[in-house]
Amino acid sequence: MQFEKSCGAVVFRKYHGNTELLIIKHVNGGHWSFPKGHVEEGETEEETAIREIKEETGVDVIIDSSFREVVTYSPKKETQKDVIYFLAIAKNSNLVPQEEEIADIKWVEISRAHAVLSYDNDRQLVNKVKPIIKDSY
């Protein structure tokens, strides 16, 4: 069994009184999800999330590490992958997709996120961050 680890975040912004989430569409597979990527040697989980979000979307973020959720799945046979998700606040809104990996990026109102996201585990993350964003931001 091979093990992989990635880190990313549910990135949000407040826009005209609404809470919006940053969602990306992957070139490979065409699914909508949250930005994430592989941990590089010497990086902390938070550093990986910040770097990957910036590389994939052009957005700078502040990580709220009080929210840390692990999603485990098998992307291919004999491989188990852990993805560590944090909550992150966008510091800017300029979207610049990483051409090799990202087909599209958009801000989605939090109440519409379930309809756009491709996977149940991502929808569950939205359910978990909603009350935190509402109560703390």
The pLDDT-based confidence of 75 (bands split at 50, 70, 90) is confident
Question: In this predicted model, what pLDDT tens digit does every residue of 80-96 receive, in sequence order?
Answer: 999 999 999 999 998 99
Asked if pLDDT for residue 22 goes beyond 90, the answer is yes
What is the spatial distance between Cα 55 and Cα 20, in angstroms, rounded to a whole number? 20
pLDDT at position 67 is 97
Is the pLDDT assigned to residue 55 strictly greater than 90? yes
DSSP notation for 1-50: -EEEEEEEEEEEEEETTEEEEEEEEETTT--EE--EEEPPTT--HHHHHH
Long-range residue pairs from 48-51, CB within 8 A, at least 24 positions apart, any chain: 48/6, 48/7, 49/7, 49/8, 49/9, 49/84, 49/85, 49/86, 49/88, 50/88
pTM summary value: 0.95
What number of other Cβ atoms are within 10 A of residue 37's Cβ? 18
Q: Nearest Cα to 88, choosing from 51, 40, 42?
A: 51
CB-based contacts of 135, cutoff 8 Å, min separation 6: none
Bridging pattern class, strands 79-90 and 2-15: parallel
Q: What is the pLDDT of residues 109-128, one digit of tens each?
A: 999 999 999 999 999 999 99
Tell me the average pLDDT across 43-54: 98
The widest CA-to-CA distance across the chain, in whole angstroms, is 47
Question: Exposed, middle or buried, 22 (CB in 10 Å: 0-12/13-18/19+)?
Answer: buried
